[in-house]
Amino acid sequence: MKKILRRFKVIFIDVYIYQMLNYKPFNTAVLNYQIDKLPKTNKKTCYYIKDSGKIVHKSFLFSNVFLLKSVKKSGPVIGDCMTVKSHRGQSIYPYVINKIAKEVIETEGKPVYIVVDKNNLSSIKGIEKAGFSKLASVVAKRWLWFYLKKDIVYLND
């Protein structure tokens, strides 16, 4: 019952939306990791890196997210990224999201977006290092898939 009630809870949203319109090469030296991907399921694709047989990083590419409509955009969104503690600080996260953006921009010709919590400073640093630019700040309340009392500030128009 609690699981069902949680879905109806109002959620406070305080995020930045980043974008990459044209591919920007990633120039930081990173160990030669191979990025693999799983077939698309449920409108998302999983990209991952293995080291010594263990997954050390995962990033997902979503076909679209509702929040982008708030800033009058649509397109693929990178999110739910994770790097294991032992591999942090090696620029794996910006390397992977940059390669995902390159693949999408070159094959689909679409801009790529990232939605990140404003308090997630390490992710913000990696996103900017990967060549993404800040599009907007969004503060809102979300109930189900509705965004209420939106305060949107465009930062890079």
Range name among 93-97, 115-119, 130-134, 151-155 with the lowest pLDDT average? 151-155
The domains located in the chain, with CATH, are: 10-154 (3.40.630.30)
The pTM of the full predicted model, rounded to 2 decimals, is: 0.91
Residue at 104: amino acid letter: V
Name the DSSP class of 53.
Answer: T
In three-state secondary structure terms, 28 is coil
pLDDT score for 157: 52
For residue 6, the surrounding DSSP H or E stretch is: helix 2-7
pLDDT one-digit tens code per residue, 58-86: 999 999 898 999 999 999 999 999 999 99
The yes-or-no verdict on residue 30 having pLDDT over 80 is no
Strand 35-37, strand 44-51: pairing = antiparallel
In three-state secondary structure terms, 141 is strand
**In contact, 73 and 110? CB cutoff 8 Å:** no
